[in-house]
Amino acid sequence: MLIQQHIRVTVDAVVFGYSAKQGISVLLIKRKIPPHIFKWALPGGFVHNDESFEDGIKRELREEAGITINYLEQLYTFGAPERDPRGRIISIAYYALVDPSNFKLAPDTDAEAAQWCPIDELPFLAFDHKEIIALAQERLRNKIRYEPIGFELLGKKFSMAELESLYTHLLGRSVDRRNFQKKILSFGFLKTLPEKQKHPQQGRPAQLYSFDEKKYHALKKEGIFFEV
């Protein structure tokens, strides 16, 4: 039984960014071709015949937004027969974590505009992209409970308060400052830097930390647990 397939394959990315002001944001692009022309959508596009999914994602993100990715992981493959009006098009969705302060958004080819949108203020989105974001958010919320991937959303140096605020946003609830610090430091994958935060807007300058990837990977091998 040989059936001629007409299925096309896209990759789409849910790119998460974090800033103290806006909280968790997602990168959206405004479509400049049909279908759903001028609607907001996830960055992504058709996979080339000879490239891996990850290469495809990175190419699209370069083309559409010019960003630097800290973490990239496959999320889920969406393939409902009616999800795209152009015919059978499946989407292999990835999610990515970036530090938005690291670069300026620079839309290039397929997208009219690339923009950060706070996760709680999403506009109407093309295709099933809202569903994809919802799944990515759930995955992220689960994942940070047993792997410290939250660090990928921060810059190289950060204060304990910034880290705590990030987790507060990710978990959707507040945590006790003292218990949080105790727990995080007990893992031993934070380096205490010999410098303090410069020019706080108000109050005492905070100790700065950085993430020690070497120590983290050593810990990870013996199985980490990370409930905060």
Partner DNA sequence: CCAAAAGTGTTTGTAATACACCCATGA
Partner DNA sequence: TCATGGGTGTATTACAAACACTTTTGG
Quick one: which H or E segment has residue 181? Answer: helix 177-187
∠ at Cα 215 (170, 141), nearest 5°? 15
Q: Which of 68, 101, 102, 109 binds its own copies (CB under 8 A)?
A: 109
Among 68, 77, 102, 179, the residue binding its own copies under the rule CB under 8 A is 77
CA neighbor of 42 nearest in space, from 147, 135, 166 = 135
186 binds its own copies (CB under 8 A): no
Asked whether position 196 contacts DNA by CB under 7 A, the answer is yes
Planar angle of CA 184, 188, 189, nearest 5 degrees? 85
Closest separation in Å from C-beta 203 to DNA:
2
Residue whose token pair is 């990168």: 27
Position 108 contacts its own copies (CB under 8 A): no
What the block records as the tokens of 62 is 């370069």
Task: For its own copies, give the closer residue by CB, 51 or 176.
Answer: 51
From DNA, its own copies, none, which one binds at residue 205 (CB under 5 to 8 Å depending on kind)?
DNA
User: What's the DSSP call for residue 205?
Assistant: P
| Residue matched to tokens 């998460």 | 16
Site membership for its own copies, residue 37 (CB under 8 A): no
Of the candidate spans 24-32, 48-56, 171-179, 190-198, the one that interacts with its own copies by CB under 8 A turns out to be 48-56
Please select the residue that binds its own copies; options are 41, 62, 76, 130, rule is CB under 8 A: 76
β pairing state of 111-118 and 23-31: antiparallel
Residue 203 as a binder of its own copies (CB under 8 A): the answer is no
Euclidean distance between CA atoms 39 and 29, whole angstroms: 8
The stretches of 93-159 forming alpha helices (DSSP H) are 129-143
Q: Which of 49, 202, 221, 223 binds DNA (CB under 7 A)?
A: 202
Binding site for DNA (CB under 7 A): 159-161, 176-179, 181-183, 196, 199-207, 227
Binding site for its own copies (CB under 8 A): 1, 3, 5-9, 46-53, 74, 76-77, 79-81, 88, 90, 92, 109
